[in-house]
Amino acid sequence: MTKHGFNKILILSIWENLWSLGEGCGVPDELHFINGLHSKGIEIFLLKPEPEGHIDDHEQIGINKYTYPSIVSSFEKLPGPIGRFFISVYFPYKITNRLKYLAEMIKPDLILGLSHQSIQPVSKVGRELGIPTAVKLFGVMRLGINKLSRLKYWYSNFDQINSLRYPVNRYIVLNDGTLGKEALIGRGIPESEISFPQNGMSLKWTEMKIDRREIRGSMGLPEDDILIVTLSRFVKLKRISHLLKAAAKISDKTIKHVSFVLAGDGPRKEYLIRKTRDLGLENRVYFTGAIPYKRVPELLKACDIFAGTSELTNMAMPTCEAMLCGLPVVAYNVAGTSEVVRDGETGFLVENSNTDAFAKKLSLLINDNDLRQRLAENAATFSKKHFVDWDRRIEQEIEILKAVIDNYQT
């Protein structure tokens, strides 16, 4: 028995690889979590999809790996709600017996599911075999939006609503600004069964020193412009086109020495390139492609302002990491964004979807160097005080899992 009170954990993941954008690009949460468990001497058994093309970035980690045919990625190619419907039906049907077989063979101290798609099989196997269970949710998408009509709310969330009908012993909901705790309570989950930790951060980024001109040069960015950056997967809900629309509304005099950096990749890239041309911004917008995570702080520190235009939340990791790197933020005030973007203190909050107001706030920061510097310093100070380092965040999760096991045994 390890000092953390358990030896074995069986994890059901829906993701083929650790990195959502491949080759070290994307959010590193699963990587830190698995490495953290491994470093504590906890034996990890991971059930995950077989990666397409047989490229598997789990290989470098000391875990026991089992695979199943990739179900989620296959149905994700179908139109939105149709794909989600088939995933919600077919995934539990195909996975539950496989998960049960492994649990009977391994006899883990706990079964953990990653994402809401995993809840049903984890719940069923845990109850049948008498094993404590937990699920980790990386935000809740639209489940926390209470302003939708009843029909639209159900249409947007039916798969999560169905998954939450199956109980587990603990719900770990990362606070990405989508109001996950409130959403689960609203679906009848007792608050005592919910843990709501912050996203982890690399706090050492605050003190990292870079040569801005060198980094800009290496990434093909203008060396002397004020750079406004956004960093995300290029999908519809991120609404990166709103930033382009706001850019087109900035006066010629103000935008003269300004460039916009669109960092990331995804299915909307070609659309964004066309939108850039349509708005006459070809000479002002730079597409960097997916950025390896180790280079994210270099990119952010080489820029001057961060822009957040998501329809769900603008306090997700890129925003917080930008603040950590000393960037003021201009963001739509949706969901929990105001928890970190303090209007007039660490950046500016803008009415949702108001591209005119977005352009005005960007212009204010572009034209006022002193204001931009003051908000940048405030953002870095706020980050050091309020954000949680990865080591501490992973330790918190391990403590949560240990409590689940202890409470199940008493």
Start-end ranges of CATH 3.40.50.2000 in the chain? 8-198+389-409, 203-386
Helix (H, G, I), strand (E, B) or coil at 359: helix
pLDDT tens digit sequence for 57-88? 666 567 899 999 887 777 767 777 787 888 88
> Comparing C-alpha atoms, which of 321, 318, 378 is closest to residue 348?
378
Helix (H, G, I), strand (E, B) or coil at 134: strand
Q: Look at the domain 8-198+389-409 and name its fold.
A: Rossmann fold (3.40.50)
- Concatenated DSSP letters for 248-293? HTS-HHHHTTEEEEEE--STTHHHHHHHHHHTT-TTTEEEEEPPBG
Residues of the chain where predicted confidence (pLDDT) is lower than 50? 1
Instruction: Give the Cα separation of 312 and 140 in Å (integer).
Output: 9
pLDDT of the residue at 53: 62
pLDDT tens digit sequence for 9-41? 999 998 888 776 666 778 888 888 998 999 999
pTM: 0.91
Instruction: Report CA-CA distances (Å) from 342 to 190, 347, 354.
Output: 30, 6, 18
pLDDT of the residue at 28: 83
Residue 147's region, left for phi above 0, alpha for psi from -120 to 50, else beta, is: alpha
Instruction: Report CA-CA distances (Å) from 78 to 69, 72, 87, 198, 404.
Output: 17, 10, 10, 33, 37
What CATH number is given for 203-386 in this structure?
Answer: 3.40.50.2000
pLDDT of the residue at 85: 81
pLDDT of the residue at 321: 96
pLDDT of the residue at 409: 73
Instruction: Give the Cα separation of 356 and 211 in Å (integer).
Output: 34
**Mean pLDDT, the chain, whole residue set:** 91
Instruction: Give the Cα separation of 106 and 151 in Å (integer).
Output: 43
Residue carrying the six token digits 């088939």: 86
Q: Token pair of 158, please?
A: 């039916």
